[in-house]
Amino acid sequence: MSKEITEKKNAGKPGFFQKVGGFFKRIGTYFKEVFSETKKLTWPSKKEIIQYTLAVIAFVGLMALIMWVLDLAFSNGVSALASIKIGK
């Protein structure tokens, strides 16, 4: 009798292999959706890529110049403060 009761209790519940199968099915569905979304992408043209690259290089160069000037100013300021003699 206990075997019949156990089978009845577990009849509506998914088994281990059903859970694992559902997991892989969800992964497969995820990748199908990713591939369908990548088909909708529009890629920039070669001219746009060159323009964007040049803009990034110019911005990085400008920031490097600003940081170099600030570093030079701060290092000169700290050196000037360090060379001040206090007292006599």
pLDDT score of 12 more than 60: no
Residue 31 C-alpha from the chain's centroid:
19
Q: What is the pLDDT of residues 15-68, one digit of tens each?
A: 655 566 678 888 999 999 999 999 999 999 999 999 999 999 999 999 999 999
> What SS3 state is found at 82?
helix
Asked whether the whole model's pTM tops 0.85, one would answer no
